[in-house]
Structure 1
Amino acid sequence: MASKTLQRLMDVAPRGQPLDPEMLRDCGISAQQTTYLVNAGWLQRLSKGAYLLTGDTPTRDGILAYLSRRIPGLHVGGRTALDWQGVRHNVSFRERVVLWADRPYVMPDWVGEHMPYTLQTTRLFDANLPAGTGLSPLPNRDPSLVVAEPERALLELASDVGKRRAKGQSLEEAMSIAASLRNLRPKVLDTLLSHCTRVKVVKLVRDLGEASGFAWGKDLQRHVDRLGAGRRWTSSRKDGPRFTLKA
């Protein structure tokens, strides 16, 4: 019985992806059998509710697939989403994966050990924007790995500008990245900006668009006016660079 259970698990378990209890049940492994496999050394327990075949190592995509089952609204966003879609700027070794989610989540330690990351939970849009707008899986990748499309990733990138110096996005780098976004879709960007509630994000996207000289960067002032014409925005963080966005 034990050998059949183990063989069934090895046949169906995705390599590099931590397994939660629901996935184990889908593989026909009960809680009692899970405990047996851990005690027998066939499964390793990474943390509560996370298991891995002994000898296997969590991969980036495997970790993200596991987390997507546990964190509402999780997606790859901002600079990482743009990088994965071919827009690269100063990519460093073991780049931090920029994650966005609907609410905070306490990551187990093993996630950071295998995948440097940041998790952002700022709400950028009003409740009228349909869920999943500007999010989609990438071709030839796990469909559970949802990634921000370039237009949404730009707004997330703008949101990150000026935050904590060690993990935030610099204004100079954001400008360089925006200068590479020739093919943004104006209608998609317009929809996202129409529902964006963050003054800083809307103003910064306007400025990045104007500086880029591309078609998508034209006529964005109306989105700023919607949130309140004549209001300047100034970064006030003591631990980050200070900058001001015009009215």
Structure 2
Amino acid sequence: MDMKNRTKINELMTSWIPGAVYSVKWLKENGYTYSNLQIYKKSGWVKAIGAGALIKSGDEVGWPGAVWALQEQLKFPVHVGGKTAIEQAGSAQYLTMGKERVFLIAEPKTKLPTWFKNKKWDAEIVYLQSSLFDEGLKSLSIAEQGLTSVELGRLKLVYSSRERAMLEYLDQVPERHSFTEAHEIMENLLTLRPKLVQTLLAHCTSVKAKRLFLAMADRVNHPWLKKLDLSKVDLGSGSRQLVSGGEFDSKYKITIGNP
């Protein structure tokens, strides 16, 4: 390896974030040629985990390192949301037993790279393409969209806030989550920010998720609920029945499972 290559690999290894996957596409865009990367692999500095992705040799890499590459290097419109974000925020009474499930939520038609899909990660990845919020929400700031940065070691990942994560979670009830668990989680959401809740409800496209959210919050009488202006929230028309033999909420016109 000549001096120029040695300098480049030293710079890369020094700046490499522990636990991260690095995209070959990103590396090439930042001055590392195919020839460079082949030399680094043959020399044992890095190794491939699939076509288009590298890890530092000897590094332990889990799902956060892969998601970091999707978000930070490839700029995919994907974030950690739903129950995973709720658990991270400490609002889930019961954590998932057994192998961790990670809910990744992306915009419709977002195709994950093959290296991510084919790799067996240290968690079960539940990948959801969602149009839960309208296009108008994306014109707002990251914070106003209900997204936040979470540090996992030296990795910074984009997660849903509790407010957004709960709407994402309820959009998957009862298909993926139970009413009992949903009620328990809602009980813990005592300190949601009404301004952010108002914004998210105004841009949410799922009548089911909005009605469930409000009905469950009303049932436990959360104080932030009184600060919302529901005249600015489209709750649709007619009644919705999500389960047979459930309880009908006449205020929000939705039949839901009992706690």
Match of 1:158 among 153, 167, 170: 170
Percent same amino acid at aligned positions?
27
* C-alpha contact 2:23 2:53 (8 A) present in aligned 1: yes
Match of 2:158 among 119, 134, 146: 146
Is residue 40 of structure 2 the alignment partner of residue 31 of structure 1? no
Alignment: residue pair count: 237
Partner of 2:58: 55
Normalising by structure 1, we get a TM-score of: 0.83
Match of 1:207 among 208, 211, 215: 215
* C-alpha contact 1:234 1:244 (8 A) present in aligned 2: no
* C-alpha contact 1:193 1:223 (8 A) present in aligned 2: no
**Paired residues for 1:228-247 under 5 Å:** 228-234=236-242, 246=249, 247=253
Q: Distance in 1 between matches of 2:248 and 2:53?
A: 45
**Paired residues for 1:45-124 under 5 Å:** 45-68=48-71, 69-70=73-74, 72-91=76-95, 92-103=97-108, 104-106=110-112, 107-110=116-119, 112-124=120-132
- 1:83, CA displacement in angstroms? 1.5
- The Cα RMSD (Å) is 2.9
Partner of 1:238: none
Q: Distance in 1 between matches of 2:153 and 2:46?
A: 26
CA deviations on 1:73-122 (whole Å, 9 max, x unpaired) are 21111111121122132213442111111134344322x42332211112
One-letter code aligned to 1:205: F
- 1:25, CA displacement in angstroms? 4.0
Normalising by structure 2, we get a TM-score of: 0.79
Question: Cα gap change, 1:142/1:15 in structure 2, threshold over 3 Å: closer, same or farther?
Answer: closer
- 1:3, CA displacement in angstroms? 3.7
Query: Which of structure 1's runs of 4+ aligned residues deviate more than 6 A?
Result: 241-245
* C-alpha contact 1:158 1:204 (8 A) present in aligned 2: yes
Question: Cα gap change, 1:148/1:15 in structure 2, threshold over 3 Å: closer, same or farther?
Answer: same
Is residue 53 of structure 2 the alignment partner of residue 41 of structure 1? no
**Structure richer in strand, relative to its length:** 2
One-letter code aligned to 2:210: V
Q: Which moved more, 1:181-190 or 1:61-70?
A: 61-70
Question: Cα gap change, 1:142/1:210 in structure 2, threshold over 3 Å: closer, same or farther?
Answer: farther
Q: Distance in 1 between matches of 2:80 and 2:129?
A: 12
Q: Which moved more, 1:9-18 or 1:171-180?
A: 9-18
One-letter code aligned to 1:157: Y
